Amino acid sequence: MSKEELLDAIRDSIVNLDFDKSKEYTLKALEAGATPQEIILKSIAQGMEIVGKKFEESEYFLSELIVAGEIGKEITKILEPYLKGAEMKKVGKVVIGTVRGDLHDIGKNIVAMMLEAAEFKVIDLGADVPPEKFVEAVKNENPDIVGMSALLTVTMVEMKNVIDALKEAGLREKVKVIIGGAAVTEDYAKSIGADGYGANAVEGVRVCKQWVKQK
């Protein structure tokens, strides 16, 4: 296969969600003289664009969008040694977690994975995260955005505690705050002083992308 054919084959293996094939073609493309930049632009980015379009047209599921994103990440890992230490460019940084007292993390995980697929650097604090841990992460990581999730009405009150703790630490103005999860609403987000609300993962990521674009 020629270099061009291999670049197409990587793209197609991303669209077909075939990790093994994508890895095989990536190694062959590098051997055939493709640069990492070519693979990123012509294979990964194009493949992700096709998968994204298929998702928008309801042909693919969100889970498939996530899998494609993970394949893209794995290919990027293969390319890292060839990038001569140059860091992959990220569009922004997000500190994310499920608030204290709430162990439900699947919605938060979906958002985190979609953010990574959208080229954000994600610092995932996990579930049952106390306000002080959010504050510490904002101090240490200097993110653009803080994302919080809660499934239960009994735990969503913790979101306000996190915002208050950020204010107390003098960090609130440095970050945008977005909240989501089954228990919360747009009105609730406004009432506690969050900057944004995601009714679902797609919406949440869209809001984050918009914020970093405006920066």
Nearer to another protein, 86 or 103 (CB): 103
Q: Which residues pair with 120 in a beta bridge?
A: 92
Q: Which is nearer to another protein, 61 or 82 (CB)?
A: 61
For the chain, strand residue ranges (E) read 92-98, 120-124, 145-149, 176-180, 196-198
Q: Residue 21 or residue 172: which is nearer to another protein going by CB?
A: 21
Closest distance between another protein and the C-beta of residue 128, in Å?
8
Contact of 62 with 202, CB cutoff 8 Å: yes
- Provide, rounded to whole angstroms, the least separation between the CB of residue 90 and another protein: 22
Distance in angstroms (rounded) separating the CA atoms of residues 151 and 142: 27
Q: By C-alpha distance, which of 5, 91, 15 is closest to 48?
A: 15
Q: Which is nearer to another protein, 34 or 67 (CB)?
A: 67
| Smallest separation, CB 60 to another protein (Å) | 6
Helix or strand (DSSP H, E) at 73: helix 62-79
Residues in contact with another protein by the rule CB under 8 A: 55, 58-64, 66-67, 70, 101, 103, 105-106, 109-110, 113, 126, 153-154, 157, 182
